[in-house]
Structure 1
Amino acid sequence: MFLKKKLMNCFKNIKVYAQLSKIIQMETHRTNKEVLFKGIKLMAISLACMFLGPTLVYVSLTNQDRSLYILLLAIAIIICCLAMFFAFKGINTILDSMFKKK
């Protein structure tokens, strides 16, 4: 009976030790600064496109009598789509820098 209690306590201690060793071995996640700066650059490109695209749309629609307004409108719509793309990629990259494991 006494031996059985000792063995049970020993197994409990081994389980506790295994759990503590797992906790100790867990490393804290730090922000990868290089990836973070890459994400910030993508967001800066997106911000520039967010202002440039609608401005070009306005300019092209106010000058419909010119011959190149359709080309300018197409370029403006492409820039607006690029703004959304770069915003998505920028946010995704920033989140990867904070939460993704190496």
Structure 2
Amino acid sequence: MEENNRTDKEVLIKGVKRLLLCLLLMFAGPILLHISFSNDDKPLYIPLLVLSLVICVTAIILLFVGINTIIKSMFK
């Protein structure tokens, strides 16, 4: 049985979409974090801080998952 050495394009596109979402979150997270640190006297300080930290962690996780998906599409 001959193995197909071609890149799985559907999985590659899925990985690129994850990386694009990661890029969006990489900008949104630190911006929200800066906004929350500059307004520490406001009542929404803690929820905004938690939200921005969750967004930053999600961006890091999506980065690793997206790269792993792209590598799987190329090397199976």
Q: Same fold (TM over 0.5)?
A: yes
Q: 1:47 aligns with which of 23, 38, 42?
A: 23
- Distance in structure 1 (CA, Å) of the matches to 2:39 and 2:2: 62
Q: Which runs of 4+ in 1 moved over 2 A?
A: 25-28
Alignment of 1:83-98 (within 5 A): 83-98=59-74
Q: Which residue of 2 aligns with 1:19?
A: none
Q: Which residue of 1 aligns with 2:52?
A: 76
Shift of residue 96, structure 1, vs aligned partner: 0.3
- Distance in structure 2 (CA, Å) of the matches to 1:91 and 1:27: 23
Letter matched to residue 33 of structure 1: K
TM value normalised by structure 2:
0.95
- Distance in structure 2 (CA, Å) of the matches to 1:32 and 1:74: 38
TM value normalised by structure 1:
0.71
Letter matched to residue 55 of structure 2: I
Q: Which residue of 1 aligns with 2:41?
A: 65
Q: Which residue of 2 aligns with 1:21?
A: none
RMSD, aligned CA: 1.0
Deviations for 1:1-41, whole angstroms, at most 9, x for unmatched residues?
xxxxxxxxxxxxxxxxxxxxxxxx64451000000000000
Provide structure 1 residue ranges, at least 5 long, that are not aligned to the other structure: 1-24
Provide structure 2 residue ranges, at least 5 long, that are not aligned to the other structure: none
